[in-house]
Structure 1
């Protein structure tokens, strides 16, 4: 069932209770949980936060805590699973679902109260009607009558046959409706934004909470799970909050003052904390638009910088060390020449944060840094420790962790760029007919970076856009991409991660690979682990990869 009043039907119910928060491994989830923790501390609500990455993690966490806790909040996880069937919970256990994954499981939507959905459905999201997917089972008693010896014999009269035929047709229609409903996976609005809205309604909002919500929203844009139009609508709402909360800080002491501003920003990775040349080379938009992995592209970049009047020596050093007059004009100069060099979308509406006398951080800087901290290339660090690092990096008092994340983010972007260049130089992006595919070869030095869902997805998006830029066939714009990499982080040998992304010609970010992977695995009997909450990413036995791809070609042809 859906919760209509977040304050009365969610927050007031958990006040005074102990709450278990199960947060998915993504930046939006962590930002949402940070906002909630701030609210809970203010109201002295006891809580436990457990990060969950797979379905098994979810089941284990609930089993471990269900005896002490009767209210569980699931952030960006569990919404697409039949929770009652999966967890077999006691009747007094209440689940609150704040999940941006779509489509939501119909059994959760029509649950009579044990599962309460606090996420909001978009105007374009349609849910099957209750009568189309649920039906009371017909009793067999009507189709049976007693025989002369006290036993029973089945009557196959016309009425009974008609009921059976009607039931069969209804089942067929139900399967079609559910297939159409679950065929594509997508994402709803940011959960961090939803939690900030709750904080605002409780009059407990602040600049810090607003910033976490902005980072959560920006994460969706950068992962390409939020459409640009929806992002702009969300930004307009945040802009109102920025105006409301930031006029008060004008006269406050600058040392510990948080100031958020809204303005146009460059679509370039962490350029305030890097050099302009390196940032442009490692940003998906500028690298693919100028083809910076080629000599011709490198020459074009130098030509652009010369035309802007920016000396190469200045552009190759750290941005913070550039001449102050040049630095002040960089954005205006690039905007003036963007159209000429095919960079018409170089600027986008964004938010930036100033904290005391430190360097400014944009919301995208935070996303790059926290994403790198979440999936570190460190064999000794556990997933839970990485989750805590991201949580720390969002606190203004621990900016050192964020700065470490920015350095890690640079390493991650460097690994992605090198791998994309290898794919293109070696012609390793291959057309399989209905889709493109690429494989990270086992033993690749940077393979450990890609054996993580978010980094692999980023590599897939960069690879697809770069391939489309150099491909001779225009058909490549309308082809999706499947990318695989050895799962070197797994304790079990012989596994690979598989990620599928939609074609760049698609305006909506709906993804059909979740359902397609499931059908291909069933068809081939492949050793496929579909434990991730993002259904377009699976773990597969490397020996089954060939027959799995054959099944995918057959399915999508």
Structure 2
């Protein structure tokens, strides 16, 4: 939309119907009051990365509400450098008028000190105006964007821009499940997939940033073309990305992985500290913290897919009638990370997706999954999570929250329903068997 279209739309449609307007990706660098001349009770909410922000928008907080991050450095000049009080202006104007009128006897008699004060005020005003022009020129001379978020296409490969393509393919749920990478046959299919793309192993095994630029230019198209042949028709999708400077580009999923891994970081195992660190990672001024979270996320993804392979190859996923069930015993590699709900739920989703592709039992393909893992050995508790079936026809509604509650109530099992997600509970280890029996009976 052009500015003329925006102005026409405002006068023809909006002005008589709405008093509160939200402007997204436009309006910040325009003097909205001068451009649109709205009524005094019209209020604009502006969410826009165009910079610099017009000074009238900055200092008129009655009609213009800017939606910006607290740590954004706008570099806006001080109010007193840009605006002068009306009283000062009026006094100077009256001085100008008196000078232009015919001098009277009274005017001839005013003392030289008063004349000097008026001349000094006019000189100061000229200097202020000159300084104001310089400040505005310096502020407005460069057009730029703040922290910009844009839509882009991406590959359904976890953290691939911060990893190697090979590692990402081996640890992404989409490729791991579709190529069945827990098996020897699946690893062979991965080699065939890479060969079909024509990518040298040397390139795919090194960090993405170090890959040959000529390969990266058409990488998404190359992967998409080959992926279609291997049954992965939707490996390329749309997402949001953000740039922090020139080097740091992050996809929305990158930020989610990073924040989640920091939130459940076992190195500190302090909920409050981990929350603050996860929050810090979202700040533009702290890209190192975001990178730290990405490294933790890589470790988690490796552990998750190793566990998935172990569960499938050792038949740990069993059918309990109305649902599938998997219990991770103490001593399972990396079992400690599954004492945290986000990580365990990620494992649960990846495991179900892979199990559905590995089993020949048609009934099992449409069952939900319940998974349990040790939570606190000293307290003798396990964490239990349930997720809906992995089918296209499934409405993805999760009924386990209420089912867990009723199963615990009917067996007097000692549970703690302490999560916003009601399909996640904590359960006393010795109550696990009777709780499970009640859940089977309830859902049969």
Same fold (TM over 0.5): yes
CA RMSD in angstroms comes to: 2.4
Which residue of the partner structure matches residue 387 of structure 2? 501
Q: Is the 8 A contact 1:373 1:389 kept in 2?
A: yes
Which residue of the partner structure matches residue 401 of structure 1? 289
- CA deviation vs aligned residue, 1:181-210 (integer Å, no higher than 9, x gap): xxxxxxxxxxxxxxxxxxxx9732248999
- Greater relative contact order structure (CA < 8 Å, 6+ sep): 1
Which residue of the partner structure matches residue 40 of structure 1? none
Distance 1:436 1:376, change over 3 A: same
Which residue of the partner structure matches residue 80 of structure 2? none
Distance 1:363 1:519, change over 3 A: same
Q: Is 1:328 equivalent to 2:217 in the alignment?
A: yes
Partner of 1:258: helix, strand, or coil?
coil
Q: Is 1:540 equivalent to 2:433 in the alignment?
A: no
Q: Is the 8 A contact 1:315 1:322 kept in 2?
A: yes
Q: Is the 8 A contact 2:307 2:333 kept in 1?
A: no
Q: Is 1:476 equivalent to 2:364 in the alignment?
A: yes
Q: Which structure would you say has the larger Rg?
A: 2
Aligned partner (choices 242, 267, 272) of residue 161 of structure 2:
272
Aligned partner (choices 300, 304, 307) of residue 416 of structure 1:
304
Which residue of the partner structure matches residue 254 of structure 2? 365
Post-superposition offset of 1:444? 2.0
- CA deviation vs aligned residue, 1:73-115 (integer Å, no higher than 9, x gap): xxxxxxxxxxxxxxxxxxxxxxxxxxxxxxxxxxxxxxxxxxx
Aligned partner (choices 186, 190, 195) of residue 306 of structure 1:
195
Which residue of the partner structure matches residue 324 of structure 2? 436
Moved over 3 A (4+): 206-210, 249-254
Q: Which runs of 5+ in 1 are unaligned?
A: 1-6, 8-200, 211-248
Q: Is 1:426 equivalent to 2:301 in the alignment?
A: no
Partner of 1:404: helix, strand, or coil?
helix
Post-superposition offset of 1:468? 0.2
Q: Is the 8 A contact 2:352 2:369 kept in 1?
A: yes
Which residue of the partner structure matches residue 317 of structure 1? 206
Partner of 1:474: helix, strand, or coil?
coil
Q: Which runs of 5+ in 2 are unaligned?
A: 1-19, 21-62, 73-139
Q: Is the 8 A contact 1:481 1:502 kept in 2?
A: yes
Partner of 1:456: helix, strand, or coil?
helix
Q: Within 5 Å, give how 1:216-365 maps onto structure 2.
A: 252=143, 258-365=147-254
Give the number of aligned pairs. Answer: 316
Q: Is the 8 A contact 2:262 2:277 kept in 1?
A: yes
Post-superposition offset of 1:302? 1.1
What CA distance in whole angstroms lies between the structure 1 residues aligned with 2:394 and 2:143? 44
TM-score (norm: length of structure 2): 0.68
Aligned partner (choices 437, 440, 443) of residue 550 of structure 1:
437
Q: Within 5 Å, give how 1:504-515 maps onto structure 2.
A: 504-505=390-391, 506-515=393-402
Post-superposition offset of 1:258? 2.7
What CA distance in whole angstroms lies between the structure 1 residues aligned with 2:151 and 2:290? 21
What CA distance in whole angstroms lies between the structure 2 residues aligned with 1:504 and 1:202? 47
What CA distance in whole angstroms lies between the structure 1 residues aligned with 2:430 and 2:277? 36
Q: Is 1:203 equivalent to 2:65 in the alignment?
A: yes
Post-superposition offset of 1:250? 13
What CA distance in whole angstroms lies between the structure 1 residues aligned with 2:144 and 2:334? 45
Distance 1:297 1:250, change over 3 A: farther
Post-superposition offset of 1:328? 1.7
Q: Within 5 Å, give how 1:21-60 maps onto structure 2.
A: none
What CA distance in whole angstroms lies between the structure 1 residues aligned with 2:67 and 2:178? 40
Which residue of the partner structure matches residue 351 of structure 2? 463
Partner of 2:357: helix, strand, or coil?
helix
What CA distance in whole angstroms lies between the structure 2 residues aligned with 1:320 and 1:310? 15
What CA distance in whole angstroms lies between the structure 2 residues aligned with 1:515 and 1:298? 41
What CA distance in whole angstroms lies between the structure 1 residues aligned with 2:211 and 2:201? 11
What CA distance in whole angstroms lies between the structure 2 residues aligned with 1:416 and 1:252? 46
- CA deviation vs aligned residue, 1:231-280 (integer Å, no higher than 9, x gap): xxxxxxxxxxxxxxxxxx996569xx533221221111000000101101
TM-score (norm: length of structure 1): 0.54
